[in-house]
């Protein structure tokens, strides 16, 4: 459905003065595919480029280099009008914080009607009917239509944001940390809603989170980002069950799952800056396996079984041999 091919996004650095030529490498050589009806989880720590990738996927950010293909068509070769009409209605976005994503002066009814009006979908009556259908789809009661966002709870607001993203019957929803601003008690409800909608509507979804444990049970595939690079990608069970990249292993150990005993990996060493990424593997400054080879060049891609890919010179192997410095327990089960 949508494919990023060798996408780079570089921003002018905010620091460094007016004539500085420093660039922030927000995304480097990203290649990613989302198939119809599939959930791709995107994980990585703060600043690694997750939102940048979301902006590229939704056409809000033009890549500095590389291609975005939507059903085989280059998004940035389309005219602005085509991009808004064909692509804009096919991709819905849900942002992290529903209190800033919704216009506080509009009622829920107006918020949900707006995309239908802008894209001139159907008649006035059919738009009204669609608004009620959308409300129903996300499990909100009818009286919320007259409410302003400020009169709703955080969870309800996020449901409105999801309903708005669904208004034009998109093929893909990009959800950028859709639950992290919510109360813990409603997070699971919003997650379940998204999974349920995927099943009922056959949507594709890109689900962004810094928590790999949330993503592993939700996604079909997971891509792990580190300092603007996709360092590992594959089926969720493989990436989270038998990670190849040490960074993925460290992410998994940071939020232990209830089902498996994990030994927490504490990362030491400097976190490199996106303004001056190190020449070799970006994780080499913090990796317990790094040696001289790791700082020469970015590791080539290795492709394992079932399209499991990673960029690492010293990948994790299940059942690390004794004497290995790896502070990692033996192989996990993929149950």
Ligand X SMILES: Nc1ncnc2c1ncn2[C@@H]1O[C@H](COP(=O)(O)OP(=O)(O)OP(=O)(O)O)[C@@H](O)[C@H]1O
| Helix, strand and coil percent figures for the chain, each rounded to 5 | 35, 20, 45
Candidates 167, 191, 205, 274: give the one binding ligand X (CB under 6 A).
Answer: 274
Q: Site for Mg ion (CB under 5 A): how many residues?
A: 2
DSSP-derived secondary structure for 287-321: -TT--GGGGTSPPPPEE-GGG-EE--SS---SSPP
Residue 47 site contact among ligand X, Mg ion, none (CB < 5 to 8 Å, cut-off depends on kind): ligand X
- x-marked contacts with ligand X along 131-150 as a string, rule CB under 6 A: --------------------
Contact 217, 258 (CB under 8 A): no
Candidates 3, 8, 11, 73: give the one binding ligand X (CB under 6 A).
Answer: 11
Nearest CB to Mg ion, comparing residues 48 and 140 = 48
Nearest CB to ligand X, comparing residues 227 and 252 = 227
Can you list the positions of beta strands (E) in 13-64? 23-34, 39-43
Q: Which of residues 17-46 bind ligand X (CB under 6 A)?
A: 24, 26, 44, 46
Nearest CB to ligand X, comparing residues 42 and 135 = 42
- x-marked contacts with ligand X along 88-127 as a string, rule CB under 6 A: ----------------------------------------
CA-wise closest residue to 29 among 60, 64, 59: 64
Residue 105 half-sphere exposure toward CB, CA atoms < 13 A? 0
- x-marked contacts with ligand X along 49-88 as a string, rule CB under 6 A: xxxx------------------------------------
Residue 26 site contact among ligand X, Mg ion, none (CB < 5 to 8 Å, cut-off depends on kind): ligand X
CB 178, min distance to ligand X, A? 12
Secondary structure class of 133 (helix, strand, coil): helix
Q: How many residues belong to the chain?
A: 335
CB 34, min distance to ligand X, A? 18
Q: Does 47 bind ligand X (CB under 6 A)?
A: yes
Q: Does 51 bind Mg ion (CB under 5 A)?
A: yes
CB atoms within 10 A of CB 193: 19
**Residues 147, 152, 158: CA angle, nearest 5 degrees:** 110
What DSSP character marks residue 286?
A: T
Contact 175, 91 (CB under 8 A): no
Two structure tokens written together for 6: 């060798």
Q: How many whole angstroms from its chain centre is CA 28? A: 16
Contact 311, 224 (CB under 8 A): no
CB 50, min distance to ligand X, A? 3
Please state, in angstroms and rounded to a whole number, the distance separating the CA atoms of residues 321 and 299: 23
Nearest CB to Mg ion, comparing residues 51 and 144 = 51
Q: Does 28 bind Mg ion (CB under 5 A)?
A: no
Nearest CB to ligand X, comparing residues 26 and 182 = 26
| Binding residues for Mg ion (CB under 5 A) | 50-51
| Binding residues for ligand X (CB under 6 A) | 11, 14, 24, 26, 44, 46-52, 210, 274
């Amino acid at each position: 459905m949508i494919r990023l091919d060798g996408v780079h996004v570089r921003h002018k650095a905010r620091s460094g003065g007016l004539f500085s030529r420093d660039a922030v490498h927000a995304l480097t050589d990203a290649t990613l595919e989302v198939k119809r009806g599939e959930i791709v989880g995107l994980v990585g720590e703060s600043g690694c480029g997750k939102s940048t990738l979301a902006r590229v996927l939704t056409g809000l950010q033009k890549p500095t280099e590389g291609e975005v293909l939507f059903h085989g068509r280059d998004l940035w070769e389309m005219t602005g009008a085509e991009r808004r009409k064909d692509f804009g209605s096919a991709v819905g976005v849900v942002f992290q914080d529903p209190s800033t994503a919704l216009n506080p002066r509009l009622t829920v009814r107006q918020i949900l009607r707006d995309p239908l009006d802008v894209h001139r979908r159907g008649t006035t009556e059919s738009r009204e009917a669609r608004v009620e259908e959308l409300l129903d789809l996300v499990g909100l009661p009818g009286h919320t239509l007259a409410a302003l966002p400020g009169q709703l709870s955080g969870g309800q607001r996020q449901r409105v944001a999801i309903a708005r993203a669904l208004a034009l019957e998109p093929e893909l929803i990009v959800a950028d940390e859709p639950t992290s601003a919510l109360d813990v008690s409603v997070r699971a409800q919003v997650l379940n809603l998204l999974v349920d909608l995927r099943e009922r509507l056959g949507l594709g979804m890109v689900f962004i989170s810094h928590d790999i444990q949330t993503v592993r049970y939700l996604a079909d595939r997971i891509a792990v980002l580190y300092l603007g690079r996709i360092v590992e990608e594959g089926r969720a069970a493989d990436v989270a069950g038998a990670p190849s990249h040490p960074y993925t292993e460290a992410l998994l150990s940071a939020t232990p799952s209830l089902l498996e005993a994990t030994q927490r990996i504490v990362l030491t060493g400097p976190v490199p800056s996106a303004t001056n990424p190190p020449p070799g593997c970006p994780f080499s400054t913090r990796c317990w396996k790094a040696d001289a080879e790791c700082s020469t060049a970015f590791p080539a891609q290795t492709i394992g079984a079932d399209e499991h890919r990673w960029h690492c010179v010293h990948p994790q192997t299940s059942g690390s041999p004794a004497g290995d410095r790896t502070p990692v327990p033996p192989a996990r089960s993929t149950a």
